[in-house]
């Protein structure tokens, strides 16, 4: 086989490409499902339940013994991470429901900044003062991104609120990663992911029942987009990113994800007619640079 074909089929390279791809297209598919009239909580619950069901035969056939031998601490940490994962997805969907894909994508990718702030505040970590430049840049960019909604086309029904919810998703994602850090190193990847997905599905199902969210009565196209969201975001996106992080640095993956955010905004322009204002473009660039700077310094 020619060398260039071998490189293209390299699973590590493929995982990096899939990570960028899912970051770019996942919000598009979520928006399409929402436009078919499927409520966000219903999409979330079906996505998490379907994702856990699809992963179950693979996890139990390969790691049944590992799952059964998990300690009480490992179960508690994994289930807590799963609950926070569910909360983060809820914030993601509602942030996307109220704001543009650009605002949602850029604010979601501020998670490295929140990770550092959490580690400083609660874990006593000390970072180089140059890292604060990235934090300040991210805050300035966030202000410009939200303030610039007045001159944008199709910025969302409540862009400021949507931006806050999207930032909440980034915070939840950071907490989920920090909490699950030790257990991820102790358990096989697939075993940990299955417990995480299943716990998140249970939490989402409980919330859906309490809020009386329906799983029935939607269009066939609506269900189609829910399945696509599950396969792209929950299965391909999550698995590829976790596989890639074992072979690439966090900095490299963050750059890949920033590229995905830009691609998502371009796709949203052609499909949904979302046109950001000049201030939003400038703010987005400042945020992406600030996050990349923080990731570089931390790595």
The pair of structure tokens assigned to 224 is 């189609």
Alpha-carbon Rg for the chain, nearest whole angstrom, is 19
Phi/psi of residue 153, each to 5°?
-105, 130
- N-to-C CA span, the chain: 36
Cβ neighbours, 10 Å, residue 298: 19
Residue 5 is predicted with a pLDDT of 42
- Residues 293 and 134: beta-carbon distance below 8 Å: yes
Residue 153, strand partner residues: 275
The per-residue pLDDT for 64 is 92
Q: Is the C-alpha dihedral spanning 288, 243, 232, 212 positive or negative? A: negative
Per-residue pLDDT of the chain in tens (299 residues, 90 and over written 9): 444 344 455 666 777 788 888 888 999 999 999 999 999 999 999 999 998 999 999 999 999 999 999 999 999 999 999 999 999 999 999 999 898 898 888 888 887 778 777 777 776 666 666 677 777 787 788 777 767 766 666 667 788 898 899 999 989 988 887 887 778 778 888 888 899 999 999 998 998 899 888 899 999 999 999 999 999 988 888 777 767 766 665 556 666 777 788 888 889 988 988 888 888 888 888 887 877 777 665 55
Q: Could you give the CA distance from residue 122 to residue 41 in angstroms, rounded to a whole number?
A: 31
The whole-number pLDDT of residue 47 equals 92
Q: How far apart are CA 98 and CA 146, in angstroms?
A: 12
Q: How many structural domains compose the chain?
A: 1
Name 275's bridge partners.
Answer: 153
Residue numbers of the domain that contains 277: 3-298
């Amino acid at each position: 086989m020619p060398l260039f074909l071998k490189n293209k089929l390299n699973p590590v390279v493929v995982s990096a490409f899939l990570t960028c791809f899912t970051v770019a297209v996942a919000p598009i598919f979520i928006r399409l499902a929402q436009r078919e009239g499927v409520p966000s909580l219903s999409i979330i619950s079906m996505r998490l339940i379907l994702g856990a069901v699809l992963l179950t035969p693979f996890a139990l056939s390969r790691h049944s013994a590992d799952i059964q031998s998990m300690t009480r601490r490992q179960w508690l940490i994994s289930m807590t991470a799963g609950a926070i994962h569910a909360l983060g997805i809820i914030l993601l969907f509602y942030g996307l429901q109220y704001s543009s894909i650009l605002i949602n994508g850029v604010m979601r990718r501020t998670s490295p900044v929140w990770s550092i702030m959490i580690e400083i505040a609660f874990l006593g970590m000390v970072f180089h003062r140059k890292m604060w430049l990235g934090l300040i840049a991210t805050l300035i960019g966030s202000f410009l991104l939200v303030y610039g909604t007045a001159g944008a086309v199709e910025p969302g029904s409540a862009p400021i609120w949507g931006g806050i919810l999207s930032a909440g998703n980034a915070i939840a994602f950071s907490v989920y990663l920090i909490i699950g850090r030790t257990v991820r190193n102790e358990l096989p990847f697939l075993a940990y992911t299955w417990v995480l997905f299943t716990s998140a599905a249970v939490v989402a199902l409980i919330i859906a029942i309490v809020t009386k969210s329906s799983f029935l009565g939607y269009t066939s196209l609506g269900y189609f987009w829910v399945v696509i969201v599950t396969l792209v975001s929950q299965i391909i996106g999550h698995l590829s990113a976790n596989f890639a992080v074992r072979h690439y640095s966090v900095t490299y993956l963050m750059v890949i994800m920033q590229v995905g955010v830009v691609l998502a905004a371009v796709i949203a322009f052609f499909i949904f007619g979302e046109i950001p204002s000049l201030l939003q473009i400038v703010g987005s660039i400042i945020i992406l640079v600030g996050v990349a700077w923080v990731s570089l310094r931390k790595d």
